[in-house]
Amino acid sequence: MEVDKGKGEAEETRKVAEADRDTVTLKSSDGKLFEVSKEAAARLSTVLAGMIAGGSIDDNGTDLKQIGSEALENVVDYCNKHANSIPSAALISSSISFNTAPFKEPEEWERKFVDRLSHDALFDLVEAANFLGMERLLDVTCHKISEMMKGKSPDQIREVFNIKNDYTKEELEEIRQELAWAFYDD
């Protein structure tokens, strides 16, 4: 190592060190800091990949004002778990189709990951994944919500998701008549 280092050289070294760091720091809307694997963040989020490539990552915590700490913690958790699992090229979601499942099936750990979330945390995570351009996480979370609807009657779906029924009485009667076959077990 050279003893007499110029200022410019020191700056250069700092930049190199920054670029060499294998994590990035993200800051939630309520000011909490989270470390995440740079490789996983760049691979899983188009938005973070753009920020990393564009050099707009702040070493003291990149501000993500749209995302609360709970959701960001889950995002980071997901990324780090993903970094530790075997990355596979097949994780990119397939196109949506009516007959075939629009998602690649979630892997076992992804299933467990979303299963432990509360409704609120799940919806927040969907929005965070959408904001960060995390296609795979979006697929996994949306898949979880779809699963929660399957096998339920309209009444049960409304109850689970706390949805207001805005059909009129007449419309509901018509739906009941026309779609009786779809509600046979009600």
Rounded to a whole number of angstroms, the minimum distance from the CB of residue 70 to other proteins is 6
Using the minimum distance from each CB to other proteins, give the nearer residue, 5 or 158.
158
Using DSSP bridges, classify how beta strands 23-27 and 62-63 pair: parallel, antiparallel or unpaired.
parallel
CA distances from 70 to 28, 46, 76, 173 (A): 9, 21, 10, 42
Using the minimum distance from each CB to other proteins, give the nearer residue, 42 or 75.
75
Q: How far apart are CA 108 and CA 184, in angstroms?
A: 33
- Out of 4, 20, 108, 178, point to the residue binding other proteins (CB under 8 A): 178
Rounded to a whole number of angstroms, the minimum distance from the CB of residue 45 to other proteins is 16
Rounded to a whole number of angstroms, the minimum distance from the CB of residue 57 to other proteins is 22
Stretch binding other proteins (CB under 8 A), from 9-17, 33-41, 53-61, 95-103:
95-103
Rounded to a whole number of angstroms, the minimum distance from the CB of residue 41 to other proteins is 20
CA distances from 56 to 10, 19, 167 (A): 21, 12, 48
- Out of 39, 68, 83, 111, point to the residue binding other proteins (CB under 8 A): 68
Residue 113 near residue 78 (C-beta atoms within 8 A)? yes
The letter for the amino acid at 93 is S
